[in-house]
Amino acid sequence: MNLPEKNMTEENMTEETKPLSPEAAEMQYRDMIQKVARAIAQNRTDDVLPYLGKKYEAKHVEMFIDGNYDKRIDVLIRLMPFVSEDEDFENFEELAMQFADSKQVRSYEGSTEECDAMLEWLEETQNLTLEQQDTVACQRARYDVEHQARANRSKHIRFQELVTVAVELLEQLGDNDELTIHVNPAVSWSYLKSKKFLDEDESPPVSALYYADDDEVRTAMFEPAGQILLDRLIDLSPCHFSQWAALADEIDPAELKDFAKGLTQLHLIAFS
254 pLDDT above the threshold of 90: yes
Per-residue pLDDT, 20: 79
Residue 43: pLDDT band by 50, 70, 90 thresholds?
low
Mean pLDDT, to the nearest integer, of 134-149?
94
Per-residue pLDDT, 63: 62
Specify the range with the lowest mean pLDDT, choosing from 110-124, 178-192, 197-211, 223-237: 110-124
1 pLDDT above the threshold of 50: no
- % of the chain residues with pLDDT over 90: 62
68 pLDDT above the threshold of 90: no
Averaged pLDDT of the chain: 86
Q: Domain ranges for the chain, please list them.
A: 25-127, 153-271
Mean pLDDT, to the nearest integer, of 22-28?
80
211 pLDDT above the threshold of 80: yes
Per-residue pLDDT, 62: 64
User: Which one, of 28, 29, 37, 27, lies nearest residue 107 by Cα?
Assistant: 37
User: Which one, of 107, 34, 123, lies nearest residue 72 by Cα?
Assistant: 107
User: What is the secondary structure of the chain as a DSSP string?
Assistant: --HHHHHHHHHHHHHHTSPPPHHHHHHHHHHHHHHHHHHHHTT-HHHHGGGS-TT--HHHHHHHHHHHHHHHHHHHHHH-HHHHT-GGGTTHHHHHHHHHHHSPPPTT--HHHHHHHHHHHHHHHS---HHHHHHHHHHHHHHHHHHHHHHTHHHHHHHHHHHTTHHHHHTTTTT-TT--EEE-S-EEEEEE-SSTTS-TT--SSEEEEEEEETTEEEEEEE-HHHHHHHHHHHHH-SB-HHHHHHH-TTS-HHHHHHHHHHHHHTTSEEE-
247 pLDDT above the threshold of 50: yes
Select the more confidently predicted residue: 73 or 33: 73
Q: What is the pTM of this model?
A: 0.73
Among 3.90.930, 3.40.1000, 3.10.150, 3.30.1360, what is the CATH number of 153-271?
3.90.930
- % of the chain residues with pLDDT over 70: 85
13 pLDDT above the threshold of 60: no
Task: Tell me the C-alpha distance between 148 and 186, whole Å.
Answer: 5
Cis omega before residue 4 (within 30°)? no
Mean pLDDT, to the nearest integer, of 78-91?
93
Per-residue pLDDT, 2: 44
* Residue pair 1/8 in contact by the 8 Å Cβ criterion: no
